[in-house]
């Protein structure tokens, strides 16, 4: 019998909105929109695009940007109960995020242990914000993912694990292709439909709990 293991996205999944997009809307000059469109259309790799986005912002805005996100980001309904459900069921939960440490970690504090959070890092020592990539692609991936979710799945999941991916966006697509089950919303639903990947839809984490309760692992 396989064991369920969960890989959950952060921006737009655990939070109701994408925090990188929220930061850019609030702080970035207009050229951010063209970069964002190139990322979503897969014209440029995620790693390249996100680096370009944050290079538009001065490092000395760190405190203002962090305060803005921690005050305005909303955790999706049912997430606390979802985490408690995984703990009671003994299901391993990892947050794998293309988000950045300076907002991901404070927003998940007290909910998910730090060692179970995999996200990109930030460097504010220069004139502009620089993004660091500690979880970049292995030799099996050439997509320049940034935080490479397929690589993390390969490294964290064993052959006896039933891999469940929860996500909403283009950053979750390659991970979804490796999953035994996909729980999706928003843009990821469109891509799963387009590619014929089976998925269960969700809007709140109470929906996710309902899906997990019905999973038959063999």
Q: What is the pTM of this model?
A: 0.92
Structure-token pair, residue 187: 């843009």
Q: How many residues does the chain have?
A: 218
Cα 26 to Cα 12, 64, 68, distances in angstroms: 17, 11, 9
Residue whose C-alpha is closest to residue 172's, from 13, 62, 51, 4: 13
Continuous H helices in 4-113: 19-27, 32-40, 46-54, 62-72, 79-89, 101-108
What whole-number distance in Å separates Cα of residue 183 and Cα of residue 202? 7
What whole-number distance in Å separates Cα of residue 164 and Cα of residue 91? 11
> Which pLDDT does position 218 carry in this prediction?
64
> Which pLDDT does position 217 carry in this prediction?
73
What would the pLDDT profile of 72-99 be if each residue is shown by its tens digit? 999 999 999 999 999 999 999 999 999 9
């Amino acid at each position: 019998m396989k064991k369920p293991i969960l890989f959950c996205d952060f921006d737009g999944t655990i939070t109701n909105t994408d925090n990188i997009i929220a930061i850019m809307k609030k702080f970035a000059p207009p050229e951010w929109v063209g970069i964002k469109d190139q990322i979503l259309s897969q014209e440029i790799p995620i790693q390249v695009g996100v680096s370009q986005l944050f290079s538009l912002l001065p490092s000395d805005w760190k405190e203002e940007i962090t305060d803005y996100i921690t005050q305005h980001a909303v955790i999706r309904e049912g997430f606390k109960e979802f985490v408690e459900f995984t703990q009671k069921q003994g299901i391993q939960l990892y947050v794998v995020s293309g988000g950045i440490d300076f907002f991901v970690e404070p927003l998940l504090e007290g909910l998910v242990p730090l060692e179970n959070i995999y996200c990109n890092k930030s460097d504010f020592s220069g004139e502009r914000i620089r993004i660091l990539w500690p979880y970049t692609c292995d030799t099996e991936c050439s997509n320049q993912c940034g935080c490479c979710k397929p690589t993390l799945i390969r490294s964290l999941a064993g052959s006896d694990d039933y891999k469940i991916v929860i996500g909403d966006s283009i950053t979750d697509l390659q991970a979804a292709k490796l999953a035994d089950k996909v729980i999706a919303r928003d843009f990821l639903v469109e891509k799963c439909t387009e590619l014929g990947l089976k998925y269960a839809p969700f809007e709140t984490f109470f929906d996710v709990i309902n899906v997990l309760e019905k999973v038959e692992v063999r």
